[in-house]
């Protein structure tokens, strides 16, 4: 059974997720190398803006984000003997699907900033953003069909279609459940995990499964990569939710404000409610009932999260999922691609943004 | 070359699109028979609401609308020798795609009513409606994949995937162009036709093409049914736009108010601008600049549309497209399904709602 390496463990066992700058630089190089062909392909596809809709889609897509999901699809395909060129369209497709969900999410959450600039709806208006994200969902499926032109057998494309469409429905169910959690103040960790399984893990799982299906993987390999993607997605989202309280000062301010405004009961909050005393619970209630100025709310919630040990406990859960993700890889052939997927899992919990 | 029958022509050549009640009753029977298996299938699929998202989707889908697009897909498949059971999932899928666009459209247009009851966003809120329509788009594609389970070869499913995804993009481009037409007061008939080709005809075309592809049609048949669907969609949308001014009193009030509020420059309005004198143009400007009470605006615009002959001219264009749709069918084998498609084209311009 493979485990997270020492650097990751040390990063996890302190309260801050920061890693030594040398490790960060190496990680950055690693990512750059991995995503370069995907980024080039994405940029090539959006060189020209033929009309306003394309211009809005382009704005939402570029400059590219981390391209984590496309990289997962590609590495999953290569890990089972697939060919990069054949699966590249589907990899780009996952980014379309992900971006579509971000564009609609920003409308729902009223988040006016995304990746350091105005979010798509804030720049182009809600109406345009609704339609552009719809178009990106259709682009996702057009990309899937393209794989046949690149030589992927039609049977595999249809199986990937099944997986990708079901994962899109799961994603929407996760978003819908997130709204229910907020409305009904559901403070149950199991419900939270079910919610992020849809909202985030579904697309990670689908990326890994589609990659391995399109790449010609066996049922066992597709299943293993599905489990890998699920655990990775859960780890990724838990860490994302932690950034509201443990990121750099800019992230903290922005994301915490959004989380509190949207009354998002993320894992550390749920754990603090569970393990906090009456005073902790009162303070959390005050924060999430609104009315406090952002700075005051942030300071109060941060104190409770540290004093209850909720931050550490949440980070430990992320770590356990990352380890489970790595464990799922053991049945795959030992290749450089498997190693990269292994490394992805460490990066998911070690990253600082 | 086949032509619209006399009933239709007589309905078209008078200013009102009303047809004799006997003809209406026969048409209603015809539709009922056509769509029954589709409606049964749709209802069966949404018997149980497993969660809130499903409940919202169900509300948007049922009671079913006209099911025109699914009926087109089924008849197109059967017209080229396909099997109903094999293509039924894809037929249901077109209704999902259509409903998704209506749900998002109602948000954009601020239309609080749809099919005589609160629109989805008005009932469940904008956030829920955004996510539910996204889910319906994913359901559309999951339905397409289902056709393989019913025995359709994977190659055909992937070709249908190409067509359906491209048509979704075209639909979004049409919606985007519609917004541009409004913002920039574009009064050009060619631009309007390009817009409705995306907004409406794309999904009609795609339904016909997917049906014939999944049903095993030849390239020539797929092409013919594509042309049929395009002309039918254009005729259908032009007639839809006319309902704002020629429907029953309830339709007139509601749709005209929505069109004027959203400054929708539909075909009759464009034609009135083209052929009106200075006074007509002044009155149209007054209506679309807003500020008039709805009753006054409606009376003024109706007068101009009648006096300029714009209503008649628009109806004539719809009729021409319906005839072109029928002409496209001539290369298909002479079957009852071809006859039904032929009848559809007459119904598209003859219907009263």
- B134:A130 CB<8 A: no
Give pLDDT, residue B253. 66
CA torsion through residues A14, A20, A26, A30, sign: positive
- B135:A161 CB<8 A: no
A13 located within any domain: no
Would you state the structure tokens that stand for residue B225, as one six-digit string?
Answer: 């049914």
Which one of A139, A145, A172 has the shortest CB-CB distance to B134?
A172
- The alpha-helical segments, DSSP class H, found in A110-247 are 120-124, 126-149, 154-183, 189-196, 202-214, 219-246
Residue A29: which residues within 8 A CB-CB, separation 6 or more?
none
Would you state the structure tokens that stand for residue B227, as one six-digit string?
Answer: 């042309």
To the nearest whole Å, the CA of B137 is away from the closest chain A CA by 8
SS3 A113: strand
Contacts of A138 in chain B (CB under 8 A): 137, 165-166, 168-169, 171-172
Q: How far is CA B130 from the centre of its chain?
A: 21
Give pLDDT, residue A107. 97
Q: What is the overall mean pLDDT for chain A?
A: 90
More confident residue, A23 or B348: B348
B279 located within any domain: yes
Give pLDDT, residue A26. 64
Per the structure, the complete domain to which residue A222 belongs is given by 27-350
A6 located within any domain: no
Name which of A165, A205, A151, A88 is nearest B147 in CA terms: A165
Contacts of A60 in chain B (CB under 8 A): none
Average pLDDT for A206-228? 98
Contacts of B49 in chain A (CB under 8 A): none
A133 located within any domain: yes
Residue whose tokens read 């007459």: B346
How many residue pairs bridge chain A and chain B with CB atoms within 8 Å of each other?
A: 149
To the nearest whole Å, the CA of B348 is away from the closest chain A CA by 27
- B162:A177 CB<8 A: no
Mutate which: A99, A111, A128, A131, vs B, most B CBs within 10 A: A131
Would you state the structure tokens that stand for residue B300, as one six-digit string?
Answer: 């003024």
Per the CB < 8 A criterion, the answer to whether A259 and A266 are in contact is: yes
Residue A317: which residues within 8 A CB-CB, separation 6 or more?
A238, A267
Contacts of A104 in chain B (CB under 8 A): 130-131, 134
Residue of B nearest to A155 (CA): B154
Average pLDDT for A186-198? 97
Low-confidence ranges of chain B (pLDDT < 70): 1-28, 249-253
A88 located within any domain: yes
Query: What was the ipTM of the complex prediction?
Result: 0.93
* B341 HSE (CA, 13 A, CB side): 42
B47 located within any domain: yes
Per the CB < 8 A criterion, the answer to whether B295 and B268 are in contact is: no
Which one of B53, B126, B161 has the shortest CB-CB distance to A172?
B53
Give pLDDT, residue A72. 97
To the nearest whole Å, the CA of B51 is away from the closest chain A CA by 8
B20 located within any domain: no
Give pLDDT, residue B23. 58
Average pLDDT for A282-310? 90
B1 located within any domain: no
Contacts of A51 in chain B (CB under 8 A): 173, 176-177
Which one of B137, B155, B177 has the shortest CB-CB distance to A134?
B137
Contacts of A182 in chain B (CB under 8 A): none
Classify residue A80 by its DSSP letter: T
Mutate which: A51, A52, A53, vs B, most B CBs within 10 A: A53
To the nearest whole Å, the CA of A132 is away from the closest chain B CA by 7
Distances (CA, A) of A252 to A122, A237, A255, A273, A309: 21, 16, 6, 20, 18
Give pLDDT, residue B86. 98
Contacts of A56 in chain B (CB under 8 A): 176
Residue A254's pLDDT band (boundaries 50, 70, 90)? confident
Residue A293's pLDDT band (boundaries 50, 70, 90)? confident
Distances (CA, A) of A211 to A82, A332, B56, B221: 8, 14, 32, 35
Residue A11's pLDDT band (boundaries 50, 70, 90)? very low
Q: What is the CATH number of the domain that holds A310?
A: 1.10.600.10
Give pLDDT, residue A27. 58
Domain count, chain A: 1
Name which of B140, B155, B195, B148 is nearest B173 in CA terms: B195
- A130:B130 CB<8 A: yes
- B141:A169 CB<8 A: no
Which one of A52, A130, A169 has the shortest CB-CB distance to B135?
A169
Which is it for strands B113-114 and B117-118: parallel, antiparallel or unpaired? antiparallel
Which one of A52, A107, A145 has the shortest CB-CB distance to B161?
A145
Residue A100: which residues within 8 A CB-CB, separation 6 or more?
A133, A134, A136, A137, A140, B134
More confident residue, A198 or A27: A198
Residue A25's pLDDT band (boundaries 50, 70, 90)? low
More confident residue, A255 or A335: A335
Does the pLDDT of residue A10 top 50, yes or no?
A: no
Which one of A51, A52, A137 has the shortest CB-CB distance to B137?
A137
CA torsion through residues A72, A77, A79, A83, sign: negative
Classify residue A37 by its DSSP letter: H
- A138:B165 CB<8 A: yes
pLDDT tens-digit map of A59-89: 999 999 999 999 999 999 999 999 999 999 9
To the nearest whole Å, the CA of B158 is away from the closest chain A CA by 6
Give pLDDT, residue A161. 98
Residue A247's pLDDT band (boundaries 50, 70, 90)? confident
DSSP codes, B113-129: EETTEE-HHHHH-HHHH
């Amino acid at each position: 059974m493979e485990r997270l390496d020492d650097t990751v463990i040390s990063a996890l066992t302190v309260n801050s997720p920061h890693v030594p700058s040398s490790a960060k630089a190496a990680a950055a190089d690693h990512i750059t190398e991995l995503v370069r062909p995907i980024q080039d392909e994405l940029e090539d596809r959006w060189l020209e803006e033929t009309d306003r809709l394309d211009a809005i889609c382009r704005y939402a897509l570029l400059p590219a984000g981390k391209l984590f999901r496309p990289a997962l699809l590609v590495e999953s395909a290569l890990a089972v003997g697939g060919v990069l060129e054949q699966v590249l369209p589907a990899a780009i497709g996952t980014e379309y699907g992900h971006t579509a969900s971000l564009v609609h999410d920003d409308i729902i959450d009223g988040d006016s900033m995304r990746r350091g600039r105005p979010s798509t709806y804030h720049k182009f208006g809600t109406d345009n953003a609704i339609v552009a994200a719809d178009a990106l969902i259709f682009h996702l499926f057009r990309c899937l069909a393209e794989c046949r032109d690149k030589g992927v057998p039609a049977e595999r494309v249809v199986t990937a279609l099944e997986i990708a469409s079901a994962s899109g429905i799961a994603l929407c169910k996760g978003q819908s459940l997130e709204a229910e959690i907020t409305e009904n103040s559901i403070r149950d960790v199991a419900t939270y995990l079910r919610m992020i399984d849809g909202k985030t893990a579904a697309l990670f799982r689908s990326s890994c499964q589609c990659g391995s299906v399109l790449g010609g993987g066996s049922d066992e390999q597709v299943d293993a990569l599905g489990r890998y993607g699920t655990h990775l997605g859960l780890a990724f989202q838990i860490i994302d939710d932690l950034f509201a309280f443990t990121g750099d000062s800019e992230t903290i301010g922005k994301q915490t404000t959004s989380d509190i405004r949207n009354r998002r009961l993320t894992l550390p909050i749920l754990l603090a409610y569970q393990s906090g005393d009456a005073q902790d619970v009162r303070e959390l209630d005050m924060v999430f009932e609104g009315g406090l100025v952002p700075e005051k709310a942030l300071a109060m919630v941060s104190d409770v999260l540290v004093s209850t040990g909720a931050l550490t406990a949440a980070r430990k859960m992320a770590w356990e999922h990352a380890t489970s993700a790595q464990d799922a890889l053991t049945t795959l052939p030992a290749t450089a691609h498997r190693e990269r997927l292994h490394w992805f899992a460490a990066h998911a919990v070690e990253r600082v943004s």
